[in-house]
Amino acid sequence: MANLNRVFLMGNLTRDPELRYTPSGTAVAQFGVATNRRWKDKQSGEMREEVTFVDVEVWGKQAELAGQYLAKGRPVFIEGRLRLDQWDDRNTGQKRSRLKVVGERFQFLGARGEGGRGPGGPSGQAGAAPSARPAPARKGAEQPPATPDEAPDAGADENFEASEDIPF
């Protein structure tokens, strides 16, 4: 039987990307995306809204671009795959798990400077380079550390092109 693990998301960042580097120097960025679903309730006639929050992780060149140009509130389109992370909680010893999207491509949406850190964005710095130092670990964080073994195949970021265009 054939398998398919493909995700397409369009939404707004819920937090600034957290850019880190693995011991081997591979960039990895983590951020959240909120997607909205709106519909009209048949019984009451009221408009309803459902918001879904998704954790996203990108690697390599995409991670560096995300760290440089994406910021909380910025609209983005992401293409990737689902991955289930599992680990033992350090404090309680219980097994924990989280489903996240590993982004393989993303596109900036909206006008230049709209909620981002690129040209015309809040930082006012065009092309600012991401920090080369790993970010310090947060105290009490229950997520497993990123490892180079988790990185997608190296060829994935060689074909990446950032675009301001809507993908469809």
User: Would you say 29 and 157 are in contact if contact means Cβ atoms under 8 Å apart?
Assistant: no
User: Would you say 21 and 144 are in contact if contact means Cβ atoms under 8 Å apart?
Assistant: no
Cα gap 151→8, rounded to integer Å: 19
* Confidence (pLDDT) at 134: 41
* Confidence (pLDDT) at 167: 41
pTM of the model: 0.64
pLDDT digits over 67-125, tens only? 999 999 999 999 999 999 999 998 998 999 999 999 999 998 876 555 544 443 433 33
User: Would you say 57 and 28 are in contact if contact means Cβ atoms under 8 Å apart?
Assistant: yes
User: Would you say 75 and 68 are in contact if contact means Cβ atoms under 8 Å apart?
Assistant: no
Domains and CATH numbers, the chain: 7-150 (2.40.50.140)
pLDDT digits over 20-65, tens only? 999 999 999 999 999 999 999 889 989 999 999 999 999 999 999 9
Strand partners, 50: 37
10 has pLDDT over 90: yes
